[in-house]
Amino acid sequence: MKNLHNALQLKQLYLLKQMGYRYTDIKPSDLEPDPAQLPNDLENLRKMVEKCHLCDLSKSRHKVVFGEGNPHAKLMFVGEGPGATEDSTGRPFVGRAGELLTRMIENVLYLRREQVYIANIVKCRPPGNRVPTPTEAFTCRPYLLKQIELIRPKIIMTLGATAYRYLTNDETPISRVRGHIIHTDNYLLVPTFHPSYLLRNPSAKKEAWADLLKVKELLEKRG
Ligand code: URA
């Protein structure tokens, strides 16, 4: 992931060169939102993200999908990025994958959707539902990190490979990390499969269900 980030920084420097810069003291990271400069409350953060034009996804989006749910949720889900239904409604996980996620929350965790918080790595739809590029993911990541800082969940479940990779900067395949309980300074991370993957591969549901049951137990233990 470090290599990927370096390659990305190099790409941004080449871009500046093409624009005519011979010297710059702009660090490529200056092109990403600075977490320290982001609002310290979710509503103002939402307003800022809704006006974001820092990457190309802003050109084709219809609505920014900031995230929704309990601002004090103990459990947070992080997906990859909005699909067509999310782009037209401005709400995360409301298409077919979202219906499955809602059933997972209600039928396995015995929670209501409103009790958890649901967000994505990127807040705008990648055209054609492609995987977000590293530039898009790293540009948007500070918004997600600020959401996590403000909500302070005890547990985060990442849904699928992209969410795990960009939240953790770890490129271990999802098949190897899913179901593990990863201790971080501020929360426990439990990666699992993406609901879209489960729709295509129903036989993997039993593993995802087991991951959810682990989370249910952790929530009960940690109040
Ligand atoms: N897939 C995601 O990763 N996020 C959504 O919001 C919807 C589908």
- The range of the structural domain enclosing residue 56 comes to 2-222
Helix (H) or strand (E) holding 191: strand 188-192
pTM comes to 0.88
Looking at residue 160, its pLDDT comes to 98
CB contact at 8 A, 206 and 223: no
Mutate to test the pocket of ligand 1, among 99, 105, 120, 194 (most ligand atoms within 8 A of CB): 120
pLDDT lower than 50: segments of the chain: none
Q: Show the ligand 1 pocket: residues with CB < 6 angstroms.
A: 65, 79-83, 86, 92-93, 95, 97-98, 120
Looking at residue 33, its pLDDT comes to 79
- The CATH number linked to 140 is 3.40.470.10
How do the residues of the chain divide into helix, strand and coil, expressed in percent and rounded to 5?
55, 10, 35
* DSSP state, residue 130: P
Diameter over CA atoms, the chain: 59
CA of 86 to the centre of ligand 1 (A): 7
Domains contained in the chain, number: 1
Looking at residue 36, its pLDDT comes to 74
CB contact at 8 A, 89 and 103: no
